[in-house]
DNA sequence: CGATTATTTGAAATCGCTCAAGTTGGGTGG
DNA sequence: CCACCCAACTTGAGCGATTTCAAATAATCG
């Protein structure tokens, strides 16, 4: 039973909805729950994980800092009534587990299998070299979060979904996008997220996300495949729908 | 003429609205436009500024990093059709001007007079001590942005405005809030932002923000004064309206 | 004090949400 | 290999919160 998320416009009635996010979400079967420390070095150790594994939860002691090597992780926060917001998507190279208070301020759940380097928070504080490397990457994530604030605050549902799909297209739509010349104008992307997760990331409901994908299909911009696959038939047209160009 | 901001749901008709944000917003008269370098030291130099001064704009060469000593700054991004989102509010101690690309990814405008230490980006990169100090503070800002993503993605208009007001109440509503015991349960805060700026920060329209304040007044939770003053008569009740408790 | 801007309020429109089926797809066991 | 089950997704209809558009009121500044 996948958790469902409350919407901002429906706080009263749905707060008691059975399929709501609770503080302790219903455990989701992980296809590879085994979490195996691989090697130990002064810099931390590497950890493998499967799909839908919680690396930490909001409120846990914030003793570790993670550096994602491979895979994808979502960071989310819950409101007391069960509404969920995915506050950041973590990709390879990104850093997470940072907190200004002694406990984590969000939860981290893997989206797909992968691996991360796990650093001790205290060690990071003491190692200038390591601290620098992690901080440098945080700057890029900072910009991504600014961009996401624009999406959440000012974009329509279709623009949000289009923006999300474009995020999954490497090297296009951002700073220094080469445009359609030369390269392909179509690509097959794996979203790696369920509709519900996408909805919680984009500040929408699952139904609205679904309708947006259907609309993109109707317009001939994408073909929806199975297993979270999407064939973007016209990257440029998709890009224009993001509202950013 | 204060710039007006498009809403996500009204892209077609309003894109041509005369009072829209343009890429180059109508210059606002700054009451103290003079920007005076005060002293020079190896760590950078201090700069005073007045109200409604742009420190930099989206697209400018990102050569400087700012450390706010005093005052308040808003960072905002514009969409091509004029929609604006304030992506971060900067207070004393906060750092801004960080960018992952060679140019600034957002604009910085002062909300009230204040001063900042201006660092050369290259100098920051070279000085481990300075870099560490700035990065440490960025971590707190990171958490604040996560919190703001929840607000933008999942909160109702009233919850957003209540959350914003609570942000202006020091030491309450956050981690380790002492509650109503002991201290005052009312406080007079200066918002330091116009309704339009608040709206652009909260992802709402100016009218919705105004209606929310009226609603809070009707419920006896606040008294609205002049000059952006708000008397919060019941901090705890306001806090409950934020949706976070 | 008068002009201009900011804010508030009202009425109508709309986008996205809620609620309720229906459909698809993957996995399982016979 | 097929029937069945369950979860994920899609679709439709109605509703409601917020936006839009319009106008009145309040505040600010010379």
Query: Containing H/E element for A44?
Result: strand A44-49
Tokens encoding B71: 């005052």
Structure confidence at residue A53 (pLDDT): 92
For residues B98 and A149, give the distance between their C-alpha atoms in angstroms, rounded to a whole number.
16
Q: Return the minimum-mean-pLDDT range out of A171-185, B73-87, B149-163, B210-224.
A: A171-185
The contacts of residue B79 (CB under 8 Å, 6+ apart) are: A150, A154, A155, A243, A244, B6, B85
Min distance B15 CA to chain A CA atoms (Å):
12
Distance A2 CA to C24 C1' (A): 17
Residue in B88, B202, B244 closest to A79 by CB = B244
Distance B204 CA to C5 C1' (A): 21
Task: Give residue-wise pLDDT tens across range B158-180.
Answer: 999 999 999 999 888 777 777 77
Q: Contact B150/A175, CB-based, under 8 Å?
A: no
For residues A83 and A199, give the distance between their C-alpha atoms in angstroms, rounded to a whole number.
11
- Mean predicted lDDT score pLDDT of chain B: 84
Neighbour-count burial for B199-222, b at 16+ CB within 10 Å, e otherwise = bbbbbbbbebbbebbebbeeeebb
Q: Coil, strand, or helix at residue B128? A: helix
Structure confidence at residue B182 (pLDDT): 62
> Residues of A numbered 141-200 whose beta carbons fall under 8 angstroms of chain B's beta carbons: which are they?
141-143, 145-150, 152-156, 159, 175, 200
Residue B58 backbone phi and psi in degrees, to 5: -45, 125
Residue listed under structure tokens 């705890």: B236
B229 touches chain A (CB under 8 A): no
10 Å Cβ neighbour count for B198? 23
Q: Return the minimum-mean-pLDDT range out of A89-103, A163-177, B92-106, B159-173.
A: A163-177
Query: For B178-190, what is the mean pLDDT?
Result: 81
Min distance A49 CA to chain B CA atoms (Å):
24
Q: B232: which DSSP letter?
A: E
For residues B155 and A149, give the distance between their C-alpha atoms in angstroms, rounded to a whole number.
14
Closest residue by Cα to the C1' atom of nucleotide C7? B210
Q: Which residue of B has its CA nearest to A78?
A: B150
Tokens encoding A222: 């994408």
Structure confidence at residue B42 (pLDDT): 58
Q: Return the minimum-mean-pLDDT range out of A31-35, A136-140, B10-14, B216-220.
A: B10-14
Nucleotides of D under 7 A from a protein CB: 7-13, 16-22, 27-28
In percent, the amount of chain B with pLDDT more than 70 equals 82
Distance A76 CA to C17 C1' (A): 21
DSSP string, A16-28: T-TTBPPSSPPPP
CA dihedral B164, B167, B168, B173 (to 10 degrees): 120
Contact A8, B242 (CB under 8 A): no
Structure confidence at residue A184 (pLDDT): 80
Q: Crossing angle for the helix pair B195-202 and B206-218, nearest 10 degrees?
A: 100
Nucleotides of C under 7 A from a protein CB: 5-11, 14-20, 25-26
pLDDT-based confidence at residue B18 (cuts at 50, 70, 90): very low
For residues B238 and B240, give the distance between their C-alpha atoms in angstroms, rounded to a whole number.
5
Q: Contact A154/B244, CB-based, under 8 Å?
A: no
Contact A21, A83 (CB under 8 A): yes
Query: For A90-100, what is the mean pLDDT?
Result: 95
Tokens encoding A193: 């997220």
Give Cα separations from B161 to A19, A217, B166, B211 (angstroms). 28, 37, 9, 10
10 Å Cβ neighbour count for B75? 25
The contacts of residue A185 (CB under 8 Å, 6+ apart) are: A234, A235, A236
Query: Containing H/E element for B69?
Result: strand B64-78
In B, which residues are within 8 Å of A135 by CB distance?
A: 131, 135, 138
Structure confidence at residue A42 (pLDDT): 59
Largest alpha-carbon pair distance within chain B? 55
Give Cα separations from B208 to A103, B1, B66 (angstroms). 35, 20, 33
Q: Return the minimum-mean-pLDDT range out of A195-199, B21-25, B94-98.
A: B21-25
pTM summary value: 0.86
Contact A66, A36 (CB under 8 A): no
For residues B243 and B245, give the distance between their C-alpha atoms in angstroms, rounded to a whole number.
6
For residues B129 and B110, give the distance between their C-alpha atoms in angstroms, rounded to a whole number.
27
């Amino acid at each position: 039973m996948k958790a469902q998320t409350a919407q901002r416009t429906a706080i009263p009635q749905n707060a008691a909805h059975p399929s709501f996010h609770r503080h302790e979400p219903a455990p989701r079967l992980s296809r590879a729950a085994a979490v195996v420390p691989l090697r130990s070095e002064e810099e931390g150790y590497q950890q493998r994980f499967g799909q839908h594994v919680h690396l930490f939860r909001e409120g846990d002691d914030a003793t570790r800092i993670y550096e994602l090597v491979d895979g994808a992780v979502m960071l989310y926060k819950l409101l007391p009534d069960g509404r969920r917001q995915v506050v950041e998507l973590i990709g390879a190279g990104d850093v997470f587990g940072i907190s200004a208070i002694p406990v984590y301020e969000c939860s981290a759940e893997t989206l797909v299998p992968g691996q991360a380097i796990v650093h001790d928070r205290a060690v990071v504080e003491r190692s200038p070299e390591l601290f620098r490397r992690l901080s440098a990457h945080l700057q890029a994530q900072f910009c991504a979060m600014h961009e996401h604030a624009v999406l959440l605050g000012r974009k329509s549902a279709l623009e949000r979904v289009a923006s999300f799909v474009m995020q999954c297209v490497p090297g296009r739509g951002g700073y220094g996008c080469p445009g359609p010349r030369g390269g392909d104008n179509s690509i097959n992307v794996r979203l790696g997220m369920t509709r519900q997760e996408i909805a919680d990331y984009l500040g929408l409901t699952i139904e609205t996300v679904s309708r947006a994908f259907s609309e993109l299909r109707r317009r001939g911009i994408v073909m929806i495949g199975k297993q979270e696959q999407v064939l973007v038939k016209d990257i440029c047209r998709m890009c224009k729908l993001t509202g950013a160009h």
